[in-house]
Structure 1
Amino acid sequence: MQVAAVCLDGKTGKVLLISSRGTGRWVVPKGWPMEGRTLHGAAAQEAWEEAGIKGHIGNVELGRYRYDKDQDSGFAFPVEVRVFLLEVEKVADSYPEVQERTREWFQPLQAAELVDEEGLRDILRNLADLPNGAGASVPCGDNRTKGD
């Protein structure tokens, strides 16, 4: 399982796509769960590391999708991705993977046409149906699990 953040600019209704490091195709920030973080907290951390985005992330999934993760050894394995909505508050110019990725803003329906994963397309299409794409996110503190 992986986690992902759909980064939404509430003022424009646009979502952020980033280029993948391997193929350069359009994706949303995603990665593996992190010890000491909730799933949505890990998704928020990925948004920061991969795209330089900070904001409020919802603790309820927008949806899930599956894809095949390619390995260097030549085989692939299926991965389920749990997707959370992040309402953007800050877009940084400097962040950990700034040299490795391109980022660009799109209307949700346009973003849906640019991603390869059908399940992610559906999530982005459904996002377009929300009023200005907002409403599914709630503040969640520092995104860490209790006791940390």
Structure 2
Amino acid sequence: MPNVPRKPRKQVAALPVMVDPKGQVRVLLITSRETQRFIIPKGWPMKGRKDHHAAAIEAQQEAGIIGRVHKQPVGGCNYWKRRSDHFDYCRVKVFMLEFRYQLPDWRERGQRRGAWLPVDDAADLVDDPGLIDIIRTLPKRLATKHKRLALKPATMS
């Protein structure tokens, strides 16, 4: 990899979560379009939008997910974004998004696969150590802050 730039490019991401009918916390992972790696919905900040709103829009565009996005990030991570002729070093702010429902159609449907996974399985499938930590600490964070998530079963098409 090239030298780390002094100022990473900023990105925002949504961490879609739900509690299944058995009380188990699940995380939505989607595949990237090019490499098919498991990731969470993410993208660039949007002019005129707060970061948490931009993260919710990414979840809608990339996975058709609608929900309640938290205003404060649950953490952040760094990664190298592959471009056609170079890599960008990015710092991602991750915002939890409580699943409400999935749209019947969305912008990137057919370009990505998605799965609702138990926390440990999701953490095992992502590459970024910072994102792994965010996912693994999610149940404790939810219990500590007494957060209640909608008991809504989820499926990805």
Correspondence for 1:111 among 104, 111, 122: 122
Q: How does 1:59-74 map to 2 (within 5 A)?
A: 59-73=71-85
Q: Note the C-alpha offset of 1:136.
A: 8.5
Of 12, 17, 36, which residue of structure 2 is paired with 1:8?
A: 17
Q: What is the rounded CA distance, in whole Å, between the counterparts of 1:8 and 1:27 in structure 2?
A: 14
Q: Secondary structure at the match of 2:137?
A: helix
Matches within 5 A, 1:73-112: 73=85, 75-112=86-123
Q: TM-score, normalised by structure 1?
A: 0.86
* Structure 1 runs (4+) greater than 6 angstroms displaced: none
Q: CA deviation at 1:17?
A: 0.3
How many residue pairs match? The answer is 136
Q: Structure 1 pair 26/134, CA: closer, same or farther in 2 (3 Å)?
A: farther
Other-structure match for 1:140: none
Give the 3-state SS of the residue equivalent to 1:104 in structure 2: strand
The runs of 5 or more residues in structure 2 that have no matched partner are: 1-9, 150-157
Q: Letter of the 2:11 partner, please give it.
A: Q
Paired amino acid for 2:124: E
Aligned to 1:50: 62
Alpha carbons 1:18, 1:27 under 8 Å: kept = yes
| Cα distance change, pair 136–68 in 1 and its aligned pair in 2 (3 A) | farther
CA distance in 1, matches of 2:113, 2:37: 10
Range with greater deviation from structure 2 (6-15 or 59-68): 6-15
Q: Normalising to structure 2: TM-score of the pair?
A: 0.81
1:78-135 Cα shifts (integer Å, max 9, x gaps): 1000000000101123111001000101011210110011100000001032339972
Identity %: 40
